[in-house]
């Protein structure tokens, strides 16, 4: 499921994807987005924050953590993917 959080922020839910599958999907998505940007000569990039959470983490908390990872990707030079995987405590 894909949803717009607001402005230029979107969230993608991959409910049954483990860490490796999530990384694979997001890398493929970023490659496709980058390709479209190059084809159209658009001056934009994509900072992607990812989170893989096992267990009963409330959805609001998962969104906040993924959003934090997106800002970490921006801090690390933009146009990148920053990944976080957590297990239940």
Name the pLDDT band for 86 (thresholds 50, 70, 90).
low
pLDDT in tens, 12-71: 888 888 888 888 998 999 999 999 999 999 999 888 888 887 767 788 888 888 888 888
Which two tokens mark 14?
Answer: 């991959």
For residues 28 and 84, which has the higher predicted lDDT (pLDDT)? 28
Residue 87 has pLDDT above 70, yes or no: no
pTM of the model: 0.76
Instruction: Output helix, strand, coil percentages for the chain, rounded to the nearest 5.
Output: 45, 25, 35
């Amino acid at each position: 499921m894909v949803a717009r959080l607001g402005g230029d922020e979107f969230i993608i839910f991959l409910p049954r994807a483990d860490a490796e599958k999530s990384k694979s999907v997001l890398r493929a998505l970023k490659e496709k987005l980058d390709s479209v940007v190059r084809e159209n000569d658009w001056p934009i990039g994509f900072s992607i924050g990812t989170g893989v959470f096992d267990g009963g983490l409330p959805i609001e908390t998962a969104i906040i953590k993924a959003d934090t990872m997106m800002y970490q990707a921006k801090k690390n030079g933009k146009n990148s993917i920053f990944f976080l995987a957590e297990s239940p405590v």
